[in-house]
């Protein structure tokens, strides 16, 4: 090797070492700070989520249950729709979701009882959807899904830990109002 080649290699080694020192001294502290702040934000987000969940669980636990006997007690269709909407909203909110629409389709009479059919539209965290469906059908024995559609929602934050599921369905519930004598079933 010639002296010029050795000088070039030496200059290249000094330049690479200088860039390494620059990166470790200037750039790495910024990256480290960013990673620490990101971890802090995620920890705060988790604490806030736990706080919200505790409040919602407390609210749901202290709320007066809408369905006492397995039948929805109401004197009119409007009251039944309102109580059904409040019941579905309370269950979704207790699990971090939200019911956007609960709309009555029809009331019918069958098997000696009035039946209210309604559409529900809402969204819930994907890790809570099965629990919400389980609660809706087991804690309310006369609340049934006729149809249900679940669709994963696109997130604005691709790195978010929990995705959201859109929930759309038709439900029916039996009302605590016997059919009047002489009326058609």
Nearest Cα to Cα of residue 108 among 86, 129, 89, 80 = 80
pLDDT at 153: 83
pLDDT 10s digits, 62-118: 554 444 467 777 777 788 888 888 888 888 888 888 888 778 887 777 666 778 888
Cα 100 to the chain's mean position, in Å?
Answer: 12
pTM above 0.75, yes or no: no
Tell me the average pLDDT across 27-53. Answer: 82
Say how far apart CA 99 and CA 169 lie, in whole Å.
11
pLDDT 10s digits, 129-150: 888 888 888 776 567 888 889 9
CA atoms within 13 A on the CB side of 12: 6
Say how far apart CA 91 and CA 48 lie, in whole Å.
20
- Is residue 55's pLDDT more than 80? no
Burial of residue 155 (number of CB atoms within 10 Å: 0-12, 13-18, 19+): exposed
The rounded radius of gyration (Å) of the Cα atoms in the chain is 29
């Amino acid at each position: 090797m010639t002296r010029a080649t050795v000088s070039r290699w030496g200059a290249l080694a000094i330049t690479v070492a200088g860039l390494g020192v620059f990166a470790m001294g200037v750039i790495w502290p910024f990256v480290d700070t960013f990673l620490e702040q990101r971890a802090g934000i995620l920890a705060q987000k988790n604490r806030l989520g736990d706080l919200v969940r505790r409040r919602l669980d407390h609210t749901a636990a202290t709320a007066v249950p809408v369905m006492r006997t397995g039948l929805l007690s109401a004197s009119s269709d409007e009251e039944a729709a309102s109580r059904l909407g409040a019941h579905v909203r309370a269950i979704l909110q207790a699990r971090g979701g939200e019911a956007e629409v609960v709309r009555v389709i029809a009331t019918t009479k069958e098997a000696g009882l009035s039946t209210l059919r309604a559409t529900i539209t809402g969204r819930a965290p994907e890790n809570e959807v099965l629990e919400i469906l389980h609660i809706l059908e087991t804690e309310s024995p006369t609340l049934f899904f006729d149809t249900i559609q679940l669709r994963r929602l696109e997130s604005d934050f691709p790195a978010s830990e929990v995705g959201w599921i859109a929930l759309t369905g038709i439900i029916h519930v039996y009302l605590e109002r016997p059919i009047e004598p002489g009326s058609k079933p």
